[in-house]
């Protein structure tokens, strides 16, 4: 079982019936288990700790300049930064805990 971490999740966005184009939403989420992600983007989802950032109603275009593709790339970079920051904090807390055990 893997531990908690940030992941990127995507889902279909709800749009009015008249809109024929595809729209999606992107989110960066903190989950309890990275290997077993939640089923939907929302605070009530099982295993969801926090929804850190969302991009709503993004048009899925045909090239790499579409809003969805750009938001997905940004979400992956934000997720990598947050996971790196989180791992540094966990390492610092481990060092502090060891020092407290040794009485330093």
**Closest residue by Cα to residue 9 from 84, 66, 76:** 76
The tokens of 57 are what? 């109603």
Q: Please list the pLDDT of the chain residue by residue as tens digits (104 residues).
A: 578 999 999 999 999 999 999 999 999 999 999 999 999 999 999 999 999 999 999 999 999 999 999 999 999 999 999 999 988 888 887 777 777 777 76
Rounded to two decimals, the pTM is 0.84
Cα–Cα distance for residue pair 17/26, rounded to 1 Å? 21
């Amino acid at each position: 079982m893997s531990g908690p971490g940030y992941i990127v999740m995507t889902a279909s966005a709800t749009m009015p019936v008249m809109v024929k184009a595809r729209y999606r939403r992107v989110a960066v989420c903190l989950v309890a288990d990275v290997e077993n992600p939640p089923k939907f983007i929302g605070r009530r989802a099982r295993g969801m700790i926090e929804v850190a950032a969302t991009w709503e109603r993004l048009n899925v275009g045909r090239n790499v300049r579409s809003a969805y593709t750009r938001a997905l790339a940004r979400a992956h970079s934000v997720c990598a930064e947050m996971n790196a920051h989180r791992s540094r904090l966990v390492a610092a807390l481990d060092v502090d805990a060891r020092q407290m055990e040794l009485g330093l």
